A and B are shown apart, each in its own frame.
Chain A
Amino acid sequence: NAGVMQNPRHLVRRRGQEARLRCSPMKGHSHVYWYRQLPEEGLKFMVYLQKENIIDESGMPKERFSAEFPKEGPSILRIQQVVRGDSAAYFCASSPDRTANTGELFFGEGSRLTVL
């Protein structure tokens, strides 16, 4: 049973470019979460999605960041016009219905974005 799959694992962008990070949840999981980990800091919640719906985006910056989880295909975290402060590891996590209200999450290995 494959775990949470994220790609790309590493992404380098120049300031002003767009970054797209993809996440395929574990089989049978319908809940997807995105977290950001800045150097020397803990993981920070960004957004929680179910298929075709954004449930909670309270941790998402208001500008330049967007997320989707379409009916078919992976979840996408999109960062437009990247700036150096966006450099971080972005982790996707998924959960089955039975743990959606408890916080037991299954994390991917992360996508590390470097903005030059």
Chain B
Amino acid sequence: QKEVEQDPGPLSVPEGAIVSLNCTYSNSAFQYFMWYRQYSRKGPELLMYTYSSGNKEDGRFTAQVDKSSKYISLFIRDSQPSDSATYLCAMSASGSARQLTFGSGTQLTVLP
């Protein structure tokens, strides 16, 4: 069983839709949770970063962490074609934050 599970998709939605992306994990030591966005043939770029449980909002993006369920989510409101990319969840344990454990990524396409 993988430490981090992420539905690979692909996920296709119409422009303006609300997108929900999710990851589950098994390691209860994870404390830092991140979402990276990776455009085709490019490197990942940090989108959202949260520590421990709770919600964090940044513009159209909201990240949620539920440590009791070992479940994290990324919501994208008013999705745009420019949001089409692969979204990677990543997490790390306190004290070993240098080693990120990534999900395999969800490929999202927002149709105009």
Enumerate chain A interface residues (CB-CB to B < 8 A).
4, 31, 33, 35, 40-45, 48, 55-56, 58-59, 91, 93, 100-110
Contacts and interface: CB of A to CB of B under 8 A. Distances in A.
B42 A48 contact: no
Given A41-B104, A42-B103, A106 B98 contact: no
B104 A103 contact: no
Given A102-B51, A104-B34, A110 B104 contact: no
B85 interface: no
A60 B61 CA distance: 34
Contacts, number: 70
23 contacts: A40-B8, A40-B104, A42-B4, A42-B103, A42-B105, A43-B102, A56-B98, A56-B99, A91-B43, A100-B97, A100-B98, A102-B49, A102-B97, A103-B34, A103-B90, A103-B92, A103-B100, A104-B49, A106-B46, A107-B43, A107-B44, A107-B45, A108-B43
Nearest to B91: A103
A1 B43 CA distance: 17
A48 B97 CA distance: 11
Interface in B1-57: 4, 6, 8, 32, 34, 36, 41-46, 49, 51
B57 to A, nearest CB: 18
Contacts of B97: 100-103
A42 B80 CA distance: 24
Contacts of A45: 99-101
Interface residues of B, number: 28
Contacts of B43: 4, 91, 93, 107-110
A55 B88 contact: no
Contacts of A43: 44, 88, 90, 100, 102
Nearest to A44: B102
A90 to B, nearest CB: 11
Nearest to A46: B99
Contacts of A31: 98
A68 to B, nearest CB: 17
Contacts of B98: 31, 33, 48, 55-56, 100-101, 103
